[in-house]
Amino acid sequence: MKCYKSKWILTSEGEILKDYAIVVDEGKIIDIIPNSQVNFEEKNVKELGNSVITPGFIDLFTQYQYTNAGSVKPVHLKNKLKKFFQNIAKKYTFAGVSSDNYSLKWANILSDYFSMDRTEKIESFKTGIEMSIKAGTTCIAQVSREFKYFDIINKVPIKNYLFFEVYADSSEKSKKKFKDLRDKVEDLIYHKGENTHIGIMLNSISGVHKKLWELFSKYCRKHNMLLMTRFAESQDEIEWLKFGFSDIDLLHKFMGFRKITPYTKGLNPVAYLDNLKVLTKKIIVANANYADEKELEQLSNTGVKYVYQPCYSDEICNKKLDFSTVLKYFDENCGFSTQSFAKDKNFSLLSLANEVNKETNLPIDELLKYLTIYPAKILRLENTTGSIKIGKDADFNVFKLEDGEDFNALKNHSMPYATYSKGRKLVKAGNIRFSL
């Protein structure tokens, strides 16, 4: 049994506790008591001084496999040749396309990634996980279409949701992809650890054939499984819906897909999926950068949950929603993603939230809910994580404060001093205390 005495505890349960302690036993919070009532043996008491305890943070959309993409130069001849031919294919396919084009940006990302060998990809994946945990993340929603990352993420000492990503360019391929992924997922369910949960990621409106939408939306409803998708994140997608073609076709060609066409033209993104009876409370959508206010209201009314990706939206999509707009339409049904393809990427959810909060100026205890309890509810994990509460897992961060500072100083912080998952100290003073 351990007791952690702190000056402040931000519970994400509507309470700000001053001079309180949390008592942890076997990975659970078993009590929350005033510091003055702590009477445990000295060896079991951790005096944190002027510090803030917060719940561990939750990142709602990660793709750690891309962490080092673009910064790793091919070493082996095989990978050098692969990169060379991909660059030729890119120049041919995207001739005349502007460098800030969404589809070309994704072609560049994929080209960099597929030029990495297996060892480099694994190292990239592990690096992303470690950087996130250092920044106080104790739960992630990882998106990948490759099964090789399952064994790694299944052993990660934090909670995780692994969303397997799928594409399809025809009805026939949809049926095969559905069967293959369904069989694989149902096998992995029997091999996953207690920290791991599994969902489905349908790539996007323009990357998934109508048949696959129908098959997986029905499957996820039947099995009470979460389904995620990118939504209205590029002008290319909006034009594809309107005209039946756009530069997204070039990206599909580069990826080796056949041309995918909408099942009907002229619909906005909300109507397109709503007609397929896809949009429900169990759907998580990312971005919606190119949805207008009317469409955002319609989307919100369906009960879907929302992932806010400000860095990714700026870098790749050329447009992002204001945080105030996100709050207006999604309020408690949203959370953050740190996904970024910048070379100096930052996995700090707190830094990201503080940056976008400059326009809304939410109190820090309210802002933290979008990193903790709200995303926990989106992932249906609120019974075990997302807040400091008796009976929940001891997933929490410790932030050291300067003399004279109170909990509001978190607006100027980015990295915790220590991070705990189920009572296990994973990070101390910026140093990782576990291995992958």
Q: Cα–Cα distances in Å, from 137 out to 117, 158, 226, 318? A: 28, 8, 21, 27
**Tally of domains within the chain:** 2
In this structure, the answer to whether residues 299 and 346 fall within a common structural domain is yes
pLDDT digits (tens, 9 = 90+) for 94-112: 999 999 999 999 999 999 9
From CA 369, how far away is CA 334, in angstroms rounded?
Answer: 10
From CA 95, how far away is CA 253, in angstroms rounded?
Answer: 13
0.85 exceeded by the pTM? yes
> Helix-strand-coil percent breakdown of the chain, rounded to 5?
40, 25, 40
In CATH, what number is assigned to the domain containing residue 297? 3.20.20.140
- Residue finishing a domain among 335, 358, 378: 378
From CA 261, how far away is CA 253, in angstroms rounded?
Answer: 13
Q: pLDDT tens track of the chain, all 436 residues?
A: 999 999 999 999 999 999 999 999 999 999 999 999 999 888 899 999 999 999 999 999 999 999 999 998 888 888 888 888 888 999 999 999 999 999 999 999 999 999 999 999 999 999 999 999 999 999 999 999 999 999 999 999 999 999 999 999 999 999 999 999 999 999 999 999 999 999 999 999 999 999 999 999 999 999 999 999 999 999 999 999 999 999 999 999 999 998 899 999 999 999 999 999 999 998 999 999 999 999 999 999 999 999 999 999 999 999 999 999 999 999 999 999 999 999 889 999 999 999 999 989 999 999 999 999 999 999 999 999 999 999 999 999 999 999 999 999 999 999 999 999 999 999 999 999 998 8
Residue 288, phi-psi category: left (phi > 0), alpha (psi -120 to 50), beta (remainder): left
In this structure, the answer to whether residues 206 and 303 fall within a common structural domain is yes
- Residue finishing a domain among 354, 378, 402: 378
393 closest CA partner among 426, 424, 436: 424
Domain around 15: 2-55+387-432
Tokens describing residue 387? 């807040």
From CA 301, how far away is CA 322, in angstroms rounded?
Answer: 19
In this structure, the answer to whether residues 335 and 251 fall within a common structural domain is yes
In this structure, the answer to whether residues 228 and 214 fall within a common structural domain is yes
pLDDT digits (tens, 9 = 90+) for 159-197: 999 999 999 999 999 999 999 999 999 999 999 999 999
- Beta-sheet strand order (sheet of 57-62): 57-62, 137-144, 159-166, 196-204, 227-231, 283-287, 305-308, 334-336
In CATH, what number is assigned to the domain containing residue 409? 2.30.40.10
In this structure, the answer to whether residues 39 and 89 fall within a common structural domain is no
* Residues composing the chain: 436
In this structure, the answer to whether residues 32 and 97 fall within a common structural domain is no
In this structure, the answer to whether residues 67 and 203 fall within a common structural domain is yes
Beta-strand relationship, 418-421 and 424-428: antiparallel
Burial class (CB in 10 A: 0-12, 13-18, 19+), 122: middle
In this structure, the answer to whether residues 96 and 182 fall within a common structural domain is yes
Tokens describing residue 349? 């959810």
Q: At what angle do helices 171-188 and 210-222 cross, to 10 degrees?
A: 30
- Residue finishing a domain among 378, 405, 421: 378
Under DSSP, the state recorded for 266 is S
In this structure, the answer to whether residues 89 and 221 fall within a common structural domain is yes
